[in-house]
Amino acid sequence: GMKNSDLSLTIVCPFDVQNIEDDAAKLSRSQKKAAEYVGKILEAVGGDSYTFSQAMPALISYEKKRTRPTPWNANLEIGRDISIPISSYIKVVEVKTKPWKQFVAKRTEAPVRCDTIYYRNDEKETELERDSTVLAYRYGSTLVPFTDENRAAMDGNKGGSGRGLQVLGFTDESNIKRHYYMGDKTSYIVARKGDNCAGAALSALIQALKKSKMVAIVRYAFSDKSAPRMGFLSPRIKERYECLVFIQLPYMEDLRRFTFLPLDTNKDNVPTDMQLSLFDDLIAAMDLTAVDINGEPEELFKSSQTSNPYLQRFYQCVQHRAMHPKDPVPPIPQHIADAIKTPKAVMALAEPILQKIASQFPLEEVAPVKVPQDNGVGPNDHGKDQVTNSDEPAPKRARTDVSMADLVATATTKVDVVNPVEDFKKLVSSKEQSYSEVCHQLEEVILKLFKDALGRAAHGKAVRCLRAYRQSALEKTSPDLFNTFLKKLKKLYSGDQDDVWNLLKKEAVPPIGKKECEQSTWADSEAEQFYADEKHNAEKEPPPAKDEDDLLDMM
């Protein structure tokens, strides 16, 4: 009956049924008879038996309940005329714990419902209804609102031909670099169950890809409303099945580009033959494919046999709290703590080689280089007791931490149109150039932005530059540079019909008067009347024509 029903039998008992002679002296007469009957049953149905000591290691880990896999059914389209019905099964995906939920303390049967109240960001903190709010996207300094209708129209078709897989072309498998693999899952793609034509067509594609060592670049969309993703299909052929493996590929925006100096630029970084040989020996000693465990070679840390220590610890604590709610959380068991540690057998082989490596690469403690504090003393000023006129405080300590952005970033040497405000602030704080020279560079950038054909987008950046210029002039007590430049802008653009001048009047970046800075030569009344409407009979100077250098600078 068990054979006909395709069932398997596994028996766990205190003694070894298959080697009963070894434990015969310890067993009673009834146990011996039971062992004989069990042995005959296992032999008849082809079952297995294990002792408690053999079964305990297999039961020590928590396992998630297995569920029947649900396929994602779609079509694999090649060109306009070929469409193969396929089913996709998730093969690898990160398992996450269920999210924590809020409950009333000491009453876990009473969940908590969260409610959100919206307030206006003003002094009165006026309460708002949810219907009176709208989602918005910050585009620079502008908030772009999107209503539910706008979002539905935007999400309705995210750029594609609907759900499914569309083959874009084929490429050599060597062109798919290992670091291109991305996404949160790996899927196996097989022909739709019961469709023989689909099975034959997909098998032909798999065999052709395997023979030519090629992969297919595809467009993937889970549903009609999903954003399209790019991935590749590689062939996988085994004795019992064949399929295509789908892995997502990055777009251009997903790639991070870094530039590092080669290691061989410094001769001290070039390893010797002895050093290379030692690391070859270390890799061979720490080979995990055939580690001697109890006299038998065994491969360690296989993904199919290595449990997630975080999940094991989580389930252990949940089980303990469920059974003993008043007890504290138990300590971490040794088998969980050792889950992803270097095995003792591997460490024993690697230890002597590591000692040799330590002697070949001696480590010396290097004292941090003390950078002298910049207290405003110039390079030609000697002596420790000189007084600076700068109002900026000296840095408290030298910066010793260096980020990845600092390593790959280029030094700022001039104010550029890309990030003019940041460039201006860096150059002013670095004091490598005179303040007047840095201000002159910012003025040139502002003029270029006002002449830019992009219009409002570039003009808004120019206004932000003006505000940064004004703030810096106040901090440096050098208002005349800023006021003189404002007067130049008024001469160039003043007039009711000029968009630049109307923008300046609207944004109201005023000159610096004596009330704000005593060093200013402008009276407060003169500064207040700067944007007053005037009739200009004088003809405006025509703006200079853009040449190729201006266009290149703006790029």
pLDDT value, residue 450: 82
Of residues 377 and 491, more confidence is placed in: 491
Range from 180-184, 243-247, 347-351, 545-549 carrying the lowest mean pLDDT: 545-549
Pairing outcome for strands 135-139 and 142-146: antiparallel
Most confident residue range from 168-182, 359-373, 514-528: 168-182
Of residues 162 and 218, more confidence is placed in: 218
Of residues 476 and 546, more confidence is placed in: 476
**pLDDT tens profile 490-519:** 888 876 557 787 788 777 788 888 888 888
**Cα(154)–Cα(148) distance, integer angstroms:** 10
- Which helix (H) or strand (E) element contains residue 72? strand 72-78
pLDDT band of residue 377 (cuts 50, 70, 90) is: very low
The percentage of residues in the chain with a pLDDT greater than 90, rounded to a whole number, is: 27
Q: What is the mean pLDDT of residues 227-254?
A: 95
**Cα(461)–Cα(225) distance, integer angstroms:** 36
pLDDT band of residue 157 (cuts 50, 70, 90) is: low
Q: How many CA atoms lie within 13 A of 431 on its CB side?
A: 10
Q: Domain limits of the chain?
A: 10-59, 66-261, 282-360, 409-554
pLDDT value, residue 455: 63
pLDDT band of residue 206 (cuts 50, 70, 90) is: very high
Q: Which CATH class is domain 409-554?
A: mainly alpha
pLDDT band of residue 83 (cuts 50, 70, 90) is: very high
Q: What is the mean pLDDT of the chain?
A: 80
Quickly count: other Cβ atoms within 10 Å of residue 145's Cβ.
Answer: 10
pLDDT value, residue 551: 43
Angle between helices 456-475 and 420-430 (to 10 degrees): 20
Which residue do the tokens 């269920």 mark? 98
pLDDT value, residue 159: 58
Which residue do the tokens 């979002």 mark? 151
pLDDT band of residue 473 (cuts 50, 70, 90) is: confident
pLDDT value, residue 244: 97
Q: What is the mean pLDDT of residues 10-18?
A: 75
Residue 349, CA distances (Å) to 282, 288, 344 in order: 9, 12, 9
**pLDDT tens profile 88-139:** 999 999 988 888 877 767 666 677 788 888 887 776 778 888 777 888 888 8
pLDDT value, residue 161: 67
pLDDT value, residue 458: 75
| Secondary structure of 488-531 in HEC code, one letter for each residue | HHHHHHCCCCCHHHHHHHHHCCCCCCCCCCCCCCCCHHHHHCCC
pLDDT value, residue 88: 96
pLDDT band of residue 457 (cuts 50, 70, 90) is: low
- The sign of the CA dihedral 226, 229, 233, 234 is negative
- Which helix (H) or strand (E) element contains residue 292? strand 291-293
Return the CATH number of the domain spanning residue range 282-360.
1.10.1600.10
Could you give the 3-state DSSP secondary structure of residue 335? helix
**Cα(405)–Cα(414) distance, integer angstroms:** 19
Q: How many CA atoms lie within 13 A of 238 on its CB side?
A: 7
Q: What is the mean pLDDT of residues 455-477?
A: 83
Of residues 231 and 10, more confidence is placed in: 231
Return the CATH number of the domain spanning residue range 66-261.
2.40.290.10
**pLDDT tens profile 382-418:** 444 444 444 444 444 444 455 544 544 556 788 888 7
Reply yes or no on whether the pLDDT at 281 is more than 90: yes
pLDDT value, residue 536: 45
Most confident residue range from 21-25, 142-146, 292-296: 142-146
Q: What is the DSSP string of 203-251?
A: HHHHHHHHHHTEEEEEEEESSTTSPPEEEEEEEEE-SS-EEEEEEEE--
**Cα(95)–Cα(64) distance, integer angstroms:** 9
Tokens at residue 188, please?
């196996």
Of residues 368 and 231, more confidence is placed in: 231
Range from 167-171, 239-243, 369-373, 518-522 carrying the lowest mean pLDDT: 369-373
pLDDT value, residue 188: 97
Q: What is the DSSP string of 345-362?
A: HHHHHHHHHHHHHHHHS-
